[in-house]
Structure formats: structure tokens, C-alpha cells
Chain A
């Protein structure tokens, strides 16, 4: 295998239902329901998905939701801001643990 990641795998996602098909069916039904229009629009959901894709660093999701965002009418400015939201939360999540570090350090220090 030349690469661990292969773009073609994205189109083969459904094959995961080859085994444990009932679980796959439930997952894909749920997935479809999550992304359909609700209190949030499909466009907003695609932007959230794009941000999360960057947070979990999934190349398949980045590929799929970049296209989905464009096809839902978003532009690069909005998509870049969404990625910054992911980045800020990731960075913030590290940084907030610094308080824990400071608390422990304070307890241990004279």
C-alpha cells in the first residue's frame, strides 16, 4: 500500500456496511438526519462539519465538507473563519489546561 489515506476511499464509505450492516444502516440513517435541514440550515451544518473535520484532522471529511460548503453556497471567507473557530477551540482547550498546570504547580511550590 503506497499511502495510508486514499481519496477513492471516500466514495467507498458505504462499503463499511459489508459487515455489521445493521449498525451501518443505523449510522447512515442517523448521519443523513443530522445533516438535513432543521433548526440549523444545511449550509450552517456543513460549515460546522468543516470546522470539526479540521479539529479531528480527517482528510476525508475535509475533502467532503469543503465541497459540501461550496455547494451549499458558502465562500472561502466563511469557510476559513469556520476553520479558525476549530483552531481557537483546539488552542483554547490546550491553554485552559494551563490553569490546571498552574494550580498544581502552585500547590507544589513554596
Chain B
């Protein structure tokens, strides 16, 4: 089966389980994790750099957990890619160069915001098209309805309506049949 080939290493699987459990048993798992970690080292050495890494990481899709960015994912590949981003920032490359580096390897799929080009035209313009079409249809219907709405009642119909409103029995023979 092609869909289930992707074997996440244990650490990633555990991370996923934690993601899932935290939703249900908030508090339980983090508390345990705290107890297991005696002395946390400062993770961030350069906060400015780290902020840049994080900002860019949010725009890049993790290829393992495909609905997460590499900033959110705990998959080992996401960690590797974050390290790549950090290393390249340190090496003095700018955001566009790093994005190009990743796109060259993983394709546009790695971008959370797909580029505007021929193959993504429907993706970008589709919603707008639907909106315009919907608005057009609505306008058309409203106009038709406005044209149809002007109906005048005959004298007999007026009389019957008045009778109905006053609580009188309907006088039409059709009504009496039922």
C-alpha cells in the first residue's frame, strides 16, 4: 500500500501521540514530561536568529506531517529542515535563497503559500470566480423576482382575503369540498 509506507521513527510517532493526547488529557502529559526533565538547558542562544528561523519555518510545510509547518512538526525531518534554515541564516543567506534551496529539493509543495503560476491559477482565482458567479446569479434572481412580484389581485380575491382575515368562513366552493 503506497499510503502507509511512511514509517515514522518512534520519536515522531511519540510526538504525534503526545499531540493527540494533549488535546484530550491536557496537563497530564506535560506534567510528566516536566518531572522527567531535571535541568532544562537554555535552548535559544540567539533570540533574534531564532525568531527569524521560526518566522520562516511557519511558512514551510513539513513533508512528513503534511498539515503542519516545519515550525510545528516534531518529525525528525522537520527538525533537520529547521536546522538547515538556521544554518543558512547563520551563513548569511536571505529568506528567498533559503526558500529557493528547499523548493529545489522538495518542490512548491514545501511552501504553505503556493506561488501564483499557471498550474495554481484555479487555486488562486477559483474562489473569486465562484464569488463573482454566485453574486451574478443572485443579482439575476433578485431582478427577476422584482419583476414578478408586482401582481395585482382581482376584486373577488380582495374580498376573499378580507373575509379570511376577519375570521369568516371561506366562501369559495373549492374550499368547502375538503
Are A and B part of the same complex? no
